[in-house]
Amino acid sequence: MIYNNILIFLSGTLLIATLVLVIKREFSEWIQAYKYQTIVLSIMTGVIGYITNNWEIYLAAIITFSLKAVIVPKILIKVTEKINYDFKNETTPYISIRLSLVVSTILVALSYFLTQQIQLGEDVIATSFLPVSISLLLIGLLVMIGRRIALNQIVGLLILENGLFLFTLSLTHGISLIIEIGIFIDILVGIVISSILIHRIGYTFDNIDDIHQNRESIEYTEEDD
Amino acid sequence: MIGIISSTIRILPESFLVVSLILTPLLGGILITIFKKKKLVEIISVLSTTFILFLTFFLFSYIVDFKKITLFNEFFYLDSLSMIILLLISFVSFVSSIYSINYMGKQYRDGIVDDKHLVRYYQGFNIFIFTMLLVPIINNMGLIWVAIEATTLVSVLLIMIYVKEDPIRSAWKYLIIATVGLSFALIGTIFFYYANIHDPLLPVQPEEDKINWTNMLENSKSMDPMIVKIAFIFIIIGYGTKAGIAPMHTWLPDAHSESPTPISAMLSGVLLNCALYGILRFHLISSGSIGAEFSNNLLIIFGLLSVGIASFSVLFQKDMKRMLAYSSVENIGIVTLAFGFGGLIAIYGAILHMINHAIVKPLMFFASGKISQKYETKAMSKIKGIVTTMPITGIMFLIGGLAIVGLPPFNIFLSKFMILSSGFSSDHILASSVLIIFLAVIFIGFVRNLVMMSFGKPKTQIKNGELGNLSLVSMGMLVAFIIILGIYIPEPLDILINDAASIFKQV
């Protein structure tokens, strides 16, 4: 039980970092907030590794830090350098920033409620980190559906992925390293592909609203019959 | 004849077969990167798929005799169910690689793709086959997730080969929806793993073997039923997104209609089955743990919903490839539903339907690709008189269309009939009746469009004649299989399907 305070403190820090992601409007600010979130996450991973005394989890912490806190933000900043400012700034979200903050707090409460339904036993790590990871998943989904611009969906996806990582780790105390490496590679390739796509969206679409247009209305308006 | 072949196969150890099966497409991808000439690249891709097809046949005869293969400390695990998926992957990729030469060649001549994109296409094609081949042969459920996620990433790259607005839009949609969906599948997998390692009295201890499917199935009796239920719901939502089960199918019509036609055929013919394979594996574990009723009911509900949504969507489609994509949703729905019925005949029918759909749908996509190249549009209202302008393709298109709505004497009639008859003879009369209504709706929608496109006079002046022989060869092979499987099922295949169906009965 001596770890309890540290674990609760870390969970709180991670939730604050996530809520900062929810309230920001601009892409570069998101990347910064995401960096902080990931650094907190890798510290948490290290703590889990210390408690369970498993070298594989230390390795996972190092990979998380170097991949998600250094490489992914660099890639995203690099590809979004040239594209139009309109694509990067959230002016008219579907769910307003204020409302999404309120909804996020409700989601956090909900995830604490939900994890109480699972009988976790005496597991300190799972009882303190599992609710946080589920709230990260839910907030990630909220960010994805609530915002208008395409880049936001990547941010939502990244939050979701962090939540997934924490979820896996806290529930099972580390699945085998080969699976974790596979998941990391998938994430990295996914980010690279989505950056290529964003790059292409940047120069193929003139207008931010184009990507939301209903494709049926574009293609068949010229039909003569 | 078969005796001679199977005696020669015995010489090759099964570990060699499995390893070379995985390495062939990788090697193909590397060779394509080295030789960048158009001709060479085409030959390499056909050779690699042919070799995969051969290896699969060897493995097929192995599995028919010995039922299962486990290799390298249970890292690879093949049984009859994986063999069926493997057969579909190798067959459809073989046909697609032949068709690709013709289709991409025409795009190349028309200046739609250049050398760089062509090489990239064939690289992606081989790596796509590689990732799909990994799915049925791996035992570790976590790595199966990694492989299925990898298929998403590679197929996104293949969809965005054309740098235009619509493919980019649909690739984006596909990437986001499929990735989010698969995250749920990972949560489900982790929950199953947790249920396997979880012991209320002891602290959680990770053990590497326990994520293996064989191990999970062995221990399924002692899993916590509550966690298994949660986990299976996550699995069916997660892998269901990738399998195109409604209401998570929204990415599918866009992705299937905007990708290059051979890729559409692979996406619809095999990739959906790969994702469904993930659901089926967990369906087996969950049936072993809490009884089949829970997962069966979920499969029936989602399957029926898919057929329903797809059938009414087919009625209102204006784009040929989108109509075919919705038809894929329908067929995957039928397969899911039939696995939910759960009788031996229903599962036999479901597996047969999987195979039949993987034969008919590529034919439809191939024909529609040729048609849209000829008419330079995908809008169905602008396509008239295919049978007069392209007689052979037109007739094959008609055969495929009539097969897919389930008319005798073609193959899909047989599997649909089996599924329906077992549904009516078991206690799923309501679901089967609703299914018949939906099938009637889809019949009307599909046949109306088919007749309107096939007959009549072309609106614009279009020169008569086929576009290349290679496409006809690949389509001809598919038509031959449609007719053969409509009349009788070869004995080895029958044994294989029976074995696979009996896996579902053992638990």
pLDDT-based confidence at A211, cuts 50/70/90?
Answer: low
pLDDT averaged over every residue in chain B: 87
> In angstroms, what separates the C-alpha of A174 from chain B's closest C-alpha?
7
Distance CA B75, CA B72 (A): 5
pLDDT at A212: 57
pLDDT at A218: 44
pLDDT-based confidence at B8, cuts 50/70/90?
Answer: low
From chain A, the residues in CB contact with B382 under 8 A are 223
Q: Above 90 in pLDDT, residue B106?
A: no
Distance CA B392, CA B372 (A): 15
CB contact B452 to A (< 8 Å): no
Of A55-69, A182-196, B128-142, minimum mean pLDDT range: A182-196
> In angstroms, what separates the C-alpha of A101 from chain B's closest C-alpha?
21
pLDDT at B51: 92
Judge: A167–B187 Cβ closer than 8 Å, yes or no. Answer: yes
Q: What is the pLDDT of residues B40-90, one digit of tens each?
A: 888 999 999 999 999 998 888 888 888 888 888 888 898 899 999 999 999
pLDDT at A216: 47
DSSP calls for A93-153: -SS-HHHHHHHHHHHHHHHHHHHTTS--TT-HHHHHHHHHHHHHHHHHHHHHHH--SHHHH
pLDDT at A183: 81
pLDDT at A96: 86
Q: What is the pLDDT of residues A151-184, one digit of tens each?
A: 778 888 888 888 888 888 888 887 777 788 888 8
Q: Above 70 in pLDDT, residue B158?
A: yes
CB contact B204 to A (< 8 Å): yes
pLDDT at A107: 93
pLDDT-based confidence at A223, cuts 50/70/90?
Answer: very low
Q: What is the pLDDT of residues A38-82, one digit of tens each?
A: 999 999 888 888 888 888 888 888 988 988 888 888 888 887 777
From chain A, the residues in CB contact with B254 under 8 A are 215
pLDDT at B3: 55
Judge: B318–A122 Cβ closer than 8 Å, yes or no. Answer: no
- For chain A, which residues make up each domain, given as ranges? 4-206
Minimum Cα–Cα distance from B160: chain A residue: A197
Report yes or no on whether pTM surpasses 0.80. yes
**Token pair belonging to B259:** 């990708």
pLDDT at B280: 92
Task: Give the containing element (helix H, strand E) for B98.
Answer: helix B80-109
Of residues B256 and A84, more confidently modeled: B256
Alpha-carbon separation of residue A97 from A15, A24, A101, A139, B159 (angstroms):
17, 8, 6, 13, 34
**What average pLDDT does range B182-211 have in this prediction?**
82
Question: Best-predicted range by mean pLDDT among A11-20, A75-84, A187-196?
Answer: A11-20
The residue assigned the tokens 């005798």 is B408
Q: What is the pLDDT of residues B215-253, one digit of tens each?
A: 888 888 888 888 899 999 999 999 999 998 988 888 999
Task: Give the containing element (helix H, strand E) for B18.
Answer: helix B14-34
ipTM field: 0.89
The pLDDT > 70 percentage for chain B reads 96
pLDDT-based confidence at B2, cuts 50/70/90?
Answer: low
What lies within 8 Å, CB to CB, of B182 at 6+ separation is B145, B148, B149, B152, B238, B239, B241, B242
- For chain B, which residues make up each domain, given as ranges? 352-507
Alpha-carbon separation of residue B77 from A179, B72, B134, B140, B286 (angstroms):
17, 9, 11, 9, 19
Judge: A172–B197 Cβ closer than 8 Å, yes or no. Answer: yes
Minimum Cα–Cα distance from A167: chain B residue: B187
Distance CA B438, CA B436 (A): 5
Judge: A175–B143 Cβ closer than 8 Å, yes or no. Answer: no
**What average pLDDT does range A189-199 have in this prediction?**
80
pLDDT at A217: 45
Bridge partners for B77 per DSSP: B70
Minimum Cα–Cα distance from A198: chain B residue: B172
Q: What is the pLDDT of residues A98-145, one digit of tens each?
A: 898 999 999 999 999 988 887 777 777 888 888 999 999 999 999 888
The pLDDT > 90 percentage for chain B reads 36
